Amino acid sequence: MRVTQGMMSQNILRQLGKSYEKIAQYQQQLASGKKITRPSQDPVVAVMGISYRGDVNHVEQFKRNLSEAHKWLDTSDGNLDQVNQVLQRVRELTVEASNDTYNAEQRKAVNDEIDQLKQQLTTIGNQQVGGKYIFNGQRTDQKPLNLNEKGEAVGDPPTYISKVDVTFKGADPSTNHFSVEVNDGINVDINVDPNSVFNQGLFDDLDALQKKLLDPSSSSQDISSFLGKIDQHLDEVGSARSELGAKMNRIDMLDNRLDQQQEIAEKVMSNNEDADFEKVIINLTQQESVYRAALSVGGQIMQPSLVDFIK
């Protein structure tokens, strides 16, 4: 086979081009931190990268759901603590009003304060997080408590007391639970059952207590008889907070589990598509040395030609 000067020149230029292309590839890996920037560079890495990135995004979405769950649970617990304080104050007022030394004016003052406490309970029960009512189950677009301040006439002359009605939208009890997906196929309730705390019985008992306070014929025993009912509602608040605590513990465990899953998924994704900087730098240095040597040798081979001898 006859080898010509042109064939040698073209071969050297082709090899120099490939070597320079590798240098550019290593430099691109150092600049981007990735093994590839186009699927055509390594289709296998590209396809696996799509799958691994989907796993990471999957976990990140669940972590966002858990963040929302933490917000709901923390807000609910804080509001139940306020409910507990309100009911404790109602109990204190009931104990005071059951004293035989209290006259009608003093009982009227107790009634007025209970009015304010009922309005505070309504405000707490209509608490929102992100524009959603947290104490009305799945009916997050509807407030659970309605406040009717017109009241009803009691006594002579008539004294008006506030009337708070608790309304639950929808008759299906299954809608009283609001849950979020925290992992594949795992949903956790993050709300307080509307019937457990802000039920009609609570406000009916408060209304009945106020009527006794404003009734001149009511005895101290009539008023003190409401202490047991108030204690029952306090127990309901305590039970709701205990249930919330259990949910918080489970959410914390799921959060820790998702952290582990995220770490594993990101590690696998990094191993698949992230460049090994130490290895890339070594390869780049070697390739630059090869390129310089090829330039030197090519220059020596390509220099002599027939023209150089026709002088």
pLDDT tens, residue by residue, 276-292: 667 767 776 777 777 67
- Whether residue 136 is contained in a domain is answered as yes
Condensed to tens digits (0 to 9), the pLDDT of residues 29-47 reads 667 667 666 666 667 666 6
Answer whether residue 181 is part of any domain: yes
**Residue 76 in this model has a pLDDT that exceeds 90:** yes
Structural domain that includes position 218 = 77-256
Q: Please report, for the domain that includes residue 216, its CATH number.
A: 1.20.1330.10
**β-strand partners of 133:** 128
Measured distance CA(215)–CA(156) in Å, rounded: 9
Q: Is 212 part of any domain? A: yes
Give 163's pLDDT tier (boundaries 50, 70, 90): low
Give the chain's domain count: 1
Is 82 domain-assigned?
yes
Task: Note the pLDDT tens digit of each residue in 226-270.
Answer: 999 999 999 999 999 999 999 999 999 988 888 888 888 777 777
The pTM of the full predicted model, rounded to 2 decimals, is 0.72
Q: For position 170, what pLDDT does the model report?
A: 44
What's the helix, strand, coil split of the chain in %, to 5?
65, 10, 20
What pLDDT is recorded for position 81? 96
The answer to whether position 23 is within a domain reads no
In a domain, 279, yes or no: no
Please state, in angstroms and rounded to a whole number, the distance separating the CA atoms of residues 94 and 258. Answer: 49
Weakest mean pLDDT among 7-21, 75-89, 295-309: 295-309
- In-domain check, residue 176: yes
Residue 247 is predicted with a pLDDT of: 92
